[in-house]
């Protein structure tokens, strides 16, 4: 399975070339966040990249067409060597099956890590926390340092989403995370709030780097489709509020149905939810039960095809449960929405709301508060099309300046090179980079 990308030839690296092993349970063709796009950019900068991952089955829990689980599979994708190892495919509400999914990959990857060409440094994408095991095996048995990229705080996320509630099990996960953090040469996080939380768990502040996330940049930002195309896609109202992504317990999207019920008589406004996930069927059934004609649910599309949907959104919705954990996270769709150049409706407290406010790119509302969502939607609907366009343009400009792929990969490149050179024993040049406030810009 080999593909080529025009323009993906290596360029002169800004730092000495290194061999990076990307250790991640999720990788293309799955909708992986720091997957092929990240690996390909490192290759373009002159580095060698090997990926150790599983057989694609996320988010449906079924192995993708064209793949079958076997002891080992090798691929070459856009100059990146990919090694796939067996796992138990599952992604449903069953905690036991999810644990089997995580543990099976960790075990397979731990064995395979000892057989791949020795890298200079390992980049580890978390979640799940079990992916730390093969990284630690490589460190113990082959002396390879690793950088651990924390996208979810465990066990906090497990408790907040209801996946795991047993206090003893949560304490065991917390102990495991302390061991992983302690073994890593560096820990990277996506927000200043994450850093504060990890430092509070006993990790040294200079051990933790803040590198904000970017988004999928495989396709240009889509222009707003024609009125005819908009009608084909079902966009027939004056103001569309669009949610694109996974629909699960953490997203708590019943708030959309509650807000839609309040706004049912306002023919100008329509909600469009596009994606999949364990809650999508339930939301569709509840929408039908309540007879909400102003809510449309569309199936998941790959990132490269979602552009025209986002371009039709007059407000792009981000929402998470009102949980203390989510006050220190920035959902990855935030960057995608900012890049799309459309106003953001941010239903997440803390760092995420602060980011949108810094960018002057949207309207924040209280999570799980349908009345406040109604207030935000009505405020958006009261704006002129030009005002909404200007708000979205500010977000796109902010993304390019502070959050884009080139910005983020440059920081990771410097960090990975430093760790490969020093084994994490001393600091190289500073890579910690929080998202600046507007009054920091000078």
Packing angle of the helix pair 254-262, 370-382 (nearest 10 deg): 60
In this predicted structure, the answer to whether residue 209 has a pLDDT above a threshold of 90 is yes
Residues 6 or more apart in contact with residue 423 via CB below 8 angstroms: 143, 145, 185
Of 250-264, 349-363, 417-431, the least confident: 417-431
**First-last CA distance in the chain:** 48
CA distance 23 to 345: 34
In this predicted structure, the answer to whether residue 7 has a pLDDT above a threshold of 50 is no
Question: Which one, of 278, 276, 320, lies nearest residue 90 by Cα?
Answer: 278
Which H or E run includes 412? helix 405-422
In this predicted structure, the answer to whether residue 1 has a pLDDT above a threshold of 50 is no
Most confident listed range (133-137, 200-204, 274-278): 133-137
Q: What is the 3-state secondary structure (H, E, C) of 311-333?
A: HHCCEEEEECCCCHHHHHCCCCH
pLDDT of 33 reads 83
Say if strands 80-85 and 344-347 run parallel, antiparallel, or are unpaired: unpaired
CA distance 80 to 94: 34
Q: pLDDT tens digits for 308-339?
A: 999 999 999 999 999 888 899 899 899 999 99
CA distance 347 to 366: 6
The average confidence (pLDDT) of the chain is: 90
In this predicted structure, the answer to whether residue 27 has a pLDDT above a threshold of 90 is yes
Q: What is the 3-state secondary structure (H, E, C) of 191-209?
A: CHHHHHHHHHCCCCHHHEE
Structure tokens at 48: 């060698």
Q: Could you give the percent of the chain with pLDDT greater than 70?
A: 91
pLDDT of 439 reads 34
**CB distance 129 to 174 below 8 Å:** no
pLDDT of 165 reads 81
Q: pLDDT tens digits for 399-413?
A: 999 999 999 999 999
Structure tokens at 362: 């949207």
> Which sign, positive or negative, has the C-alpha torsion 123, 126, 128, 133?
positive
**CB distance 177 to 197 below 8 Å:** no
CA distance 121 to 50: 11
pLDDT of 425 reads 67
Q: pLDDT tens digits for 124-182?
A: 999 999 999 999 999 999 999 999 999 989 988 887 767 778 889 889 999 999 999 99
**CB distance 85 to 54 below 8 Å:** yes
In this predicted structure, the answer to whether residue 432 has a pLDDT above a threshold of 70 is no
CA distance 379 to 373: 10
């Amino acid at each position: 399975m080999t593909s080529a990308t025009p323009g993906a030839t290596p360029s002169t690296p800004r730092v000495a070339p290194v061999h990076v092993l990307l250790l991640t349970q999720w990788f293309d063709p799955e909708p992986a966040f720091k997957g092929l796009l990240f690996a390909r950019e490192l290759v373009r900068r002159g580095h060698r990249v090997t990926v150790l991952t599983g057989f694609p089955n996320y988010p449906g829990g079924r192995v993708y067409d064209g793949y079958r689980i076997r002891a080992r599979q090798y691929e070459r994708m856009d100059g990146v060597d990919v090694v796939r190892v067996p796992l138990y495919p599952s992604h449903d509400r069953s905690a036991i099956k999810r644990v089997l999914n995580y543990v099976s990959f960790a075990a397979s990857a731990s064995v395979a890590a000892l057989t791949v060409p020795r890298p200079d440094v390992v980049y580890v994408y978390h979640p799940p926390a079990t992916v730390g095991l093969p990284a630690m095996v490589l460190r113990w048995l082959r002396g390879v340092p690793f950088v651990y990229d924390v996208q979810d705080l465990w066990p906090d996320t497990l408790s907040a989403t209801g996946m795991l509630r047993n206090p003893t099990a949560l304490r065991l996960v917390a102990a495991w995370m302390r061991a992983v953090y302690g073994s890593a040469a560096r820990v990277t996080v996506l927000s200043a709030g994450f850093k504060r939380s990890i430092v509070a768990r006993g990790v040294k502040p200079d051990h933790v780097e803040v590198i904000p996330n970017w988004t999928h940049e495989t396709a240009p930002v889509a222009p707003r489709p024609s009125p005819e195309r908009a009608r084909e896609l079902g966009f027939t109202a004056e103001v569309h509020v669009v949610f694109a992504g996974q629909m699960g317990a953490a997203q708590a999207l019943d708030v959309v149905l509650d807000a839609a019920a309040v706004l049912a008589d306002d023919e100008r406004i329509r909600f469009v939810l596009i994606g999949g996930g364990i809650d999508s069927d339930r939301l569709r059934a509840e929408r039908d039960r309540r007879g909400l004609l102003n809510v449309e649910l569309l199936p998941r599309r790959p990132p490269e095809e979602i552009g025209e949907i986002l371009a039709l959104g007059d407000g792009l919705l981000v929402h998470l449960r009102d949980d203390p954990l989510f006050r220190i996270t920035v959902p990855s769709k935030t960057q995608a929405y900012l890049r799309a150049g459309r106003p953001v409706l941010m239903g997440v407290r803390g760092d995420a709301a602060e980011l949108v406010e810094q960018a002057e790119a949207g309207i924040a509302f209280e999570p799980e508060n349908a009345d406040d969502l109604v207030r935000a939607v009505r405020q958006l609907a009261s704006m002129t099309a030009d005002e909404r366009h200007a708000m979205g343009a500010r977000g796109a400009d902010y993304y390019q300046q502070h959050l884009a792929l080139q910005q983020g990969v440059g920081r990771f490149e410097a960090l990975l090179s430093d760790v490969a050179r020093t084994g994490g024993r001393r600091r190289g040049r500073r890579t910690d980079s929080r998202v600046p406030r507007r009054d920091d810009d000078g």
